[in-house]
Amino acid sequence: MDSGTIRIGEESVENVPVEKRDIGMMFQNYALFPNMTVADNVGFGLRVRRVGAAEERRRIGEALDLVQLGQHGDRTPHQLSGGQRQRVALARAIVTNPRVLLLDEPLSALDKALRVDMQFELKRIQREIGITTIFVTHDQEEALTLSDKIGILKDGKMVQAGPPREVYNNPADLFAAEFLGEANIVTGIAGDGADIRAPDAAASGAILAVRPENITISKDEPQADAISKCQALLERRVFAGAMATCILQSNGKTIKVISRDQDIPQDIAEGDKLWLNWPVEKTLLVPE
């Protein structure tokens, strides 16, 4: 698609000069001015808009307090950590009270622990200021954590959009199922007591899949009702603290299981033939 309109509220803005669109932008690399102090970086957009000096100081102070950098206004970017620079960039984006805030993968340069902390901080700040925010990310967990509504794009087209829980639990197609989280394809697994069930009769023509976190591993065949089950060979088990990941093979299909380590039998070994089971309602029906 190479045509259309861009509207903010009821206003078409594609022919409005960039500086007059009232949009806040936070870049992936922060794009801070290295020769300016933190306060001057944050206030740049206000000076362009010719805001009075007293009002500028007040709004800079409020923005820095919001991102918990109220005491860092006289520092320069090179004196800050990566997380602090990210907060400065966010303060600069919101200080003008824009109608829309655009965030271009703003957490990708941070290490994992700081990235997780900043996800919660961003959500807090966004809720507090109440600005409509479009957040671009390739990190599925980040998308689920931060969003009220997720849109999955493929080749420039919207594959699916909706609340995070709805999109995760009811993917529109295989791309959506595998892109947002992980999905084990279990269609065609048969033999050795396999019993793969779908939630309803509408399964005909659909691909059957199950999320890794919904599968239970056991040494003995499960006897519970309303479950799907199959046998699989354990290829490897990866310990990661409280959680563990198991990679198994069943009828030529690779199946990944993610579970609390304590919920996996401790006496299993690579090469063991194990039983996998999950509630029938956790089987995803993915349209072809």
Q: Convert the pLDDT of each residue in 123-135 to its tens digit.
A: 888 888 889 999 9
Token duo for residue 160:
């699916």
φ, ψ dihedrals at 67, nearest 5°? -95, 15
Phi and psi, residue 176, nearest 5°: -65, -40
Name the token pair of 15. Answer: 């022919």
Q: What is the model's pLDDT at position 10?
A: 86
Q: Which pLDDT band, with edges at 50, 70 and 90, does 27 fall under?
A: confident
Give the model's pLDDT for residue 70.
92
Q: For the chain, what is the mean pLDDT?
A: 91
Q: Can you give the pLDDT at residue 103?
A: 92
Q: pLDDT class for 212, splitting at 50, 70, 90?
A: very high
Q: Is 1's pLDDT higher than 80?
A: no
- Could you report the per-residue pLDDT of 58-69, keeping only the tens digit for each? 999 999 999 999
Residue 200 reports pLDDT greater than 80: no
| Domains of the chain listed by start with CATH number | 7-148 (3.40.50.300), 184-287 (2.40.50.100)
Strands 206-210 and 216-218: unpaired
Helices 53-66 and 38-48 cross at an angle (nearest 10°) of: 130
pLDDT given at position 227: 93
* pLDDT band of 202, cuts 50, 70, 90: low
Identify the pLDDT of residue 99: 92
Give the CA diameter of the chain: 77
Q: How far apart are CA 148 and CA 82, in angstroms?
A: 27
pTM for this prediction: 0.82
**Among 3-7, 203-207, 219-223, the range of highest mean pLDDT:** 219-223
> What's the pLDDT at 153?
93
User: CA–CA separation, 243 vs 240, rounded Å?
Assistant: 5
**Residue 287: pLDDT band by 50, 70, 90 thresholds?**
confident
The pLDDT assigned to 111 comes to 81
Q: Which residue has the tokens 């045509």?
A: 3
Whether the pLDDT of residue 201 is over 70: the answer is no
pLDDT in tens, 260-283: 999 999 999 999 999 999 999 999
In this predicted structure, the answer to whether residue 150 has a pLDDT above a threshold of 60 is yes
Tell me the C-alpha to C-alpha distance, in Å, between residue 26 and each of 101, 164, 217, 234.
Answer: 8, 23, 44, 45
53 vs 28, more confident: 53
- Work out the average pLDDT over 43-47: 93
Per-residue model confidence (pLDDT) at position 236 = 96
Looking at the chain, the whole-number percentage of residues with pLDDT higher than 70 is 98
Q: How far, in Å, CA of 104 to CA of 85, rounded?
A: 15
* Pair 11, 67: CB distance under 8 Å: no
260 and 242 in contact (C-beta within 8 Å)?
yes
* pLDDT per residue as tens digits for the range 169-197: 999 999 999 998 899 999 989 888 899 98
- Residue 218 DSSP class: E
| DSSP letter assigned to residue 200 | S
